[in-house]
Amino acid sequence: MNFGTVADWFSSLLSFFAIIFAFWQICQQKKQMDEQIREYENDKKREKELEELHNRPFFSLEINDKLTYGMNVVWTNIKYIKKLAECFDKLYTLKGKLWCYQVKEKGYMYELKNISKNSAINITLAITYIDNSSKEKTIANKDSMTVNRGVEQSKSITFMTPTMIEERKKAIWNWDKKISVYFATVDQRWYRQDWTEEKHKKVESGFASTKIEYQGIQQIDATEVPVNNDTGFYSLEIKD
C-alpha cells in the first residue's frame, strides 16, 4: 500500500494548516467587525442617552414652612383651597410689619424646583403616606394632583397636599412618605423622580426631625401616571 511520499504529506499538511489559518483569520476579522459594530451601536446609544439627558428636566425637592416677601402661590387639590387658607399664622417684625405667613403647628409645604435648563410639562405630584408604628409598614393614605402648568428653568412649585391640610399632625409626626413627581418633556417623553421622607424621633428632646432622601429618576410610560385630580392654587402677597 502506497501512502505517498514525505513531500506529499508535508505539502498536504501545509495546505491543511493554511486552511486552518485562513479560517482563523476570517473568525478574527468577523470578531473585530462585530466588536466595531458593538462599539458603534454603544456610541450611538450613549449619544442618544446624552441627548435625552441634555433635554430632560430635573427637579430638587425641599421643605418650606414660610411664605415670605412678594407673591406666593401654593398648589393643592382644588376643593381644599379654602382650608389651605386657614393653615397659616401671620408673623410680624418688632416694628409691627407683616414679615411672613408660617404654616401652623410646625407644618410645612414642599417646594419642587426645576434645576435643569429644560421645561417640564404635565406635572403630577403623588405622595404615599406610610404608617410605621407597627412592625409591618402599612399605607395610611395617598394623594395625587396634577398642576396645570409648565415649569421652566429655575422655576418652582410650592404645594401642600390634602392630607397635610386635614391630617397635618399625623402627616408631620406619625407617617413616613414616598414622594413622586411625574412629568413630560416637550417631546412627550415621560419621567418619574422619587424621594422618601422619614422621621427621626428624639423623644428626650420632644421633637422629630425629617430626612428627605433622593431615590432616583427613570423614564416611564404615560400610562403609569396617576389619574389626574383637579388642582388649584392659593395666593398670598406680602408687600413693603
Q: Please report, in tens digits, the pLDDT of each residue of the chain (240 residues total).
A: 555 565 666 677 777 777 887 788 888 888 888 887 777 676 666 655 555 556 789 999 999 989 988 889 999 998 899 899 899 999 988 888 888 889 988 888 999 999 988 889 989 999 999 987 777 788 889 999 888 778 888 899 999 999 999 988 888 878 889 999 999 988 889 999 999 998 766 555 555 677 889 999 999 999 999 886 778 888 888 887
pLDDT reported for residue 132: 77
With cell 423614564, the residue in question is 219
Q: Is 67 exposed, middle or buried (0-12, 13-18, 19+ CB in 10 A)?
A: buried
Determine the Cα–Cα distance for residues 101 and 190; give it in Å rounded to an integer. Answer: 35
* Distance from C-alpha of 194 to C-alpha of 15, rounded to nearest angstrom: 66
C-alpha cell at 44: 450611538
Cα 136 from Cα 159, distance rounded (Å) = 30
Beta strands in the chain (DSSP E): 59-64, 66-67, 70-77, 88-92, 98-103, 109-114, 121-131, 138-147, 156-159, 175-184, 190-202, 207-220, 231-238
Each domain of the chain, given as residue ranges in start order, spans 1-55, 58-238
The candidate with the shortest Cα–Cα distance to 65, out of 107, 127, 113, is 107
In 3D space, the residue among 218, 181, 180, 213 whose CA is nearest the CA of residue 197 turns out to be: 213
